[in-house]
Amino acid sequence: MVKQTIQIFARVKPTKTTTSVYCVDNEQATGSLLEFMVPRDLADGFVNNKKESYKFRFQQVFDQTVKQEDIFAAIAKPVADSVLLGYNGTIFAYGQTGSGKTFTITGGAERYSDRGIIPRMLSYLYQHFSQDSSMVYTTHISYLEIYNEVGYDLLDPQHEASRLEDLPKVTIMEDPDQNIHLKNLSLHQSSNEEEALNLLFLGDTNRMIAETPMNQASTRSHCIFTVHVCGRDPGSAIVRRSKLHLVDLAGSERVGKTGVGGQLLTEAKYINLSLHYLEQVILALSEKKRTHIPYRNSMMTSVLRDSLGGNCMTTMIATVSVDRRNVDESISTCRFAQRVALIRNEALLNEELDPALVIVRLKREIQSLKEELSMVTGVQRGDQLSQEEIHSLEELVKVFLDDADPEVTLALGPDMRKIHYCFSLLKVMIREKLFIGERLGDHRGPSPPVGVLDQQDSPQLLSAELKKLREMLTQRDNEISILVCMLKKEKMKAQDIAVQLANISSGHLAPQRSLKLSTSSLTEGTGEVNAVDDLGALPSLYGKKGTALSLGKQEAFEIFRRDHKNQITIEDNKALLKQRFAEAKAYGEQVNKARNRVNELKKQLELRRMQRAAYGVAGRPIEKEEVDHVEENICRQLEEEKKSYKTTFGCLKTLKTEIEHLQLLLERSKVKLQRDFQDWWEQETARIQVPKSKDRVRQSRSPSLVLTGEPVLTVNVQDFPAREGLTQSAQNLKALTSTELSKSSIPLTGDQQTDTDILAFIRARHNLLNRTGPPQP
């Protein structure tokens, strides 16, 4: 058992402005210090009546410039190593909204180097699995989102979720031993890094798709990505099962800090109820005298029960922002971390005997004992007694019972099968005799010896026996049909799972499959154009694969895409991906060349050795010490080529991981683009109102776009909210006057509002903007 307090680290989010509100001291012997200096006259909207300096101790503080790889090496690698040894591990990020929790746990959405702890952890684990040949590992993954105290399965393979409520709801069940079970949370086996990354991508995409402005998933919900690792030594029945939770908590900002009347820097209530309950648990755990820990109050604390004061090695990353206006939240975060640091966990090595493996081992032991026995007795024995043996045993028992001599014995020899059989035979006989005794009543005096039944009673007895047997038969029939039913259900479940798994690999991950890249395909130089150009293709809306867009909508999508805020990143990543493909192709060619060269040299070496052997046979014996310089030279070259092959192949593998990651980033950008477009399109459609009657020709609501024609299309442009993903053009349009807008007109045919009409509106607006140019700030 390892007793350890929860390890706490702090990470400072990079800020554009220089700030003097904090300093980091990493030179301390017992960890690092993070200090906030809050001057009394801090003028950013609040007044500080209290202390000026707040110091917090952490295991380590990572300042603004620290890279993702260093965070992984310092925080996550030790946790990964203990998980590989069989201990449970948890890493959770805690901090206010926008302080970098998701960036730290999952990573940034733009660059490969921004990969967070989860993808790096998966890489690390799978690399270890492939290198450790002494153990067999299996891995399962689950991804849970908790929003408003309801759990959702983010790995729902149906992939149709457009709202959070569409995802399967996960519920908590507790068994009599108080173990928590999550009902409806799917567990997916993943046999390599690529599969695991695809699952992460699927979860993150589902999370993004289900996000609405009301439910800003990343800010208001908690996400728990869990890797279940099972390792077994092939020679033993012991298995090690460990769980690794990687947790991205909701934003920790609080309410009630008004900044007036000395409220600043006092503890306020969390916006998020689960975080409030998390704090209650942390408080109870840090006060050592408390016996009741209120884990059950919330779903998150129930799920993370082991991680908080239980069987787990837990690490917390406090993410802080050092912008002046965020200092009070950052101080709250650090205070919370200090309390967390008091919690002591007791991690156990999760070893257990695998019943299936124990059965196999016992069967093997029985077999070897049987062999030993037959060697000692010289008699080969099967598992069952033969018919002849049974017959002769029955005879023996009969003789034994008929013999009036009380000294007589039943000589069966040292065969337990025979002994057992005779005992059960005797039992049956005695029970039959009792049965007869009961039926006849005791007044008939002593019962006749077994086997000498009263002839008159025989038919009655037989019919009773027959009835009993019939009842037994019906009972067995029922049991069989229940078993068959259960079997059928299990079969159907297995089929369902197979279909779900097939969906994962073919359905929703289909776009990735088309992007999939094998090291061999790299060398052939095919596939890359499709993979890169996929984003340029017209959209098939997420979750509605194959839905063709109308021509109007397609063109509108093009306009939208051009102006989307992610377009530059997408283009950059596409260019980078192209470049990486070219590099991979070059590496692939080098690998091929090196492999051919190795094969060639091997042949040369073999030939040389054969020639020398033949030379020896032909008469001139070769001295043992005689050095063959030609052979030596070939061997040297071979070694060099092998080395170069290995190095290049290593580079190619690294590049492959990067390419796959870039593809996933692009795929996610594509989904986001489509989602934003869909929202935008719906917003545009709602904005256009077609008057029902032809005489309502002109509506002069200001500011509004009045488009002339018969009938007239009136468009309100009063409110273009500054929403993420909404085009700059739309923002610009907001600033245009109604007079300028009314210069543009769109004639309509009939009074239908079609995609083409909306497109015409969008086009007109764009032309107008191009003419007018963006408004000056």
Q: Which amino acid is at 308?
A: L
566 touching ligand ATP, by CB under 6 A: no
Question: Shortest distance, CB of residue 103 to ligand ATP, whole angstroms?
Answer: 3
DSSP-assigned letters across all residues of 314-382: EEEEEEEE-SGGGHHHHHHHHHHHHHHTT-EEEE---EEE-HHHHHHHHHHHHHHHHHHHHHHH-----
**How far lies 445's CA from each of 403, 439, 441, 462, in Å?**
22, 13, 9, 22
In the region spanning residues 602 to 661, those forming contacts with ligand ATP, defined by CB under 6 A, are none
* Vertex 450: Cα angle to 446 and 454 (nearest 5): 70
With CA atoms as reference, report the closest residue to 179 among 310, 328, 63, 279. Answer: 310
102 touching ligand ATP, by CB under 6 A: yes
219 touching ligand ATP, by CB under 6 A: yes
Nearer to ligand ATP, 11 or 243 (CB): 11
Identify the sign of the CA torsion 687, 693, 696, 698.
Answer: positive
5, 14, 288, 463: which one contacts ligand ATP (CB under 6 A)?
14
Question: DSSP H helical segments within 151-290, as ranges?
Answer: 193-209, 217-220, 273-286
**How far lies 609's CA from each of 623, 629, 631, 636, 701, in Å?**
14, 12, 8, 15, 96
58, 87, 103, 143: which one contacts ligand ATP (CB under 6 A)?
103
Q: Is 95 annotated as a binding residue?
A: yes
Tell me the C-alpha distance between 473 and 484, whole Å: 16
Strand order in the sheet with 22-25: 22-25, 32-37, 53-58
Q: Which stretch binds ligand ATP (CB under 6 A): 97-105, 295-303, 358-366, 504-512?
A: 97-105
39 touching ligand ATP, by CB under 6 A: no
The single-letter DSSP state of residue 2 is E
295 touching ligand ATP, by CB under 6 A: no
101 touching ligand ATP, by CB under 6 A: yes
Nearer to ligand ATP, 10 or 531 (CB): 10
Tell me the C-alpha distance between 591 and 586, whole Å: 9
Tell me the C-alpha distance between 91 and 245, whole Å: 6
Answer for the pair 39, 324: CB distance below 8 angstroms, yes or no.
no
Nearer to ligand ATP, 104 or 648 (CB): 104
> What are 23's strand-pairing partners?
35
Question: Shortest distance, CB of residue 97 to ligand ATP, whole angstroms?
Answer: 4
Q: Which stretch binds ligand ATP (CB under 6 A): 99-107, 163-171, 269-277, 441-449?
A: 99-107
Question: Shortest distance, CB of residue 106 to ligand ATP, whole angstroms?
Answer: 8
Instruction: Return the number of other C-beta atoms located less than 10 Å from residue 455's C-beta.
Output: 7
In the region spanning residues 311 to 330, those forming contacts with ligand ATP, defined by CB under 6 A, are 319
Nearer to ligand ATP, 14 or 650 (CB): 14
82, 218, 242, 714: which one contacts ligand ATP (CB under 6 A)?
218
- Indicate the residue whose CB is closest to ligand ATP: 100
Answer for the pair 228, 83: CB distance below 8 angstroms, yes or no.
no
E strand or H helix at 150: strand 150-153
113 touching ligand ATP, by CB under 6 A: no
Torsion angle defined by CA atoms of residues 498, 504, 507 and 513, in that order, rounded to the nearest 10 degrees: -120
Nearer to ligand ATP, 254 or 553 (CB): 254
Structure tokens at 343: 């919690």
13 touching ligand ATP, by CB under 6 A: yes
Nearer to ligand ATP, 325 or 470 (CB): 325
539 touching ligand ATP, by CB under 6 A: no
89, 231, 251, 539: which one contacts ligand ATP (CB under 6 A)?
251
Q: Which stretch binds ligand ATP (CB under 6 A): 95-103, 469-477, 682-690, 700-708?
A: 95-103
> What are 564's strand-pairing partners?
none
Tell me the C-alpha distance between 326 and 253, whole Å: 10
Question: Shortest distance, CB of residue 99 to ligand ATP, whole angstroms?
Answer: 4
| Side-chain-side CA neighbours of residue 117 (13 Å) | 32
Nearer to ligand ATP, 96 or 123 (CB): 96
Nearer to ligand ATP, 102 or 186 (CB): 102
Nearer to ligand ATP, 333 or 756 (CB): 333
Question: Shortest distance, CB of residue 270 to ligand ATP, whole angstroms?
Answer: 13
Nearer to ligand ATP, 331 or 541 (CB): 331
Tell me the C-alpha distance between 163 and 514, whole Å: 27
Q: Is 543 annotated as a binding residue?
A: no
Question: Shortest distance, CB of residue 126 to ligand ATP, whole angstroms?
Answer: 25
Binding residues for ligand ATP, total number by CB under 6 A: 15
Question: Shortest distance, CB of residue 726 to ligand ATP, whole angstroms?
Answer: 18
DSSP-assigned letters across all residues of 52-68: SEEEEEESEEE-TT--H
108, 525, 552, 774: which one contacts ligand ATP (CB under 6 A)?
108
Question: Shortest distance, CB of residue 651 to ligand ATP, whole angstroms?
Answer: 27
Q: Which stretch binds ligand ATP (CB under 6 A): 102-110, 328-336, 379-387, 685-693?
A: 102-110
E strand or H helix at 600: helix 567-617
31, 86, 89, 98: which one contacts ligand ATP (CB under 6 A)?
98
| Side-chain-side CA neighbours of residue 179 (13 Å) | 5
511 touching ligand ATP, by CB under 6 A: no
Question: Shortest distance, CB of residue 111 to ligand ATP, whole angstroms?
Answer: 10
Nearer to ligand ATP, 222 or 508 (CB): 222
Question: Shortest distance, CB of residue 334 to ligand ATP, whole angstroms?
Answer: 15
The single-letter DSSP state of residue 236 is S
- For 205, phi then psi, to 5°, come to -70, -45
Q: Is 506 annotated as a binding residue?
A: no
107 touching ligand ATP, by CB under 6 A: no
Question: Shortest distance, CB of residue 273 to ligand ATP, whole angstroms?
Answer: 16
Q: Is 97 annotated as a binding residue?
A: yes
Residues tagged in the binding site annotation: 95-102
| Binding residue ranges for ATP | 95-102
Interface residues with ligand ATP (CB under 6 A) are: 13-14, 95, 97-103, 108, 218-219, 251, 319
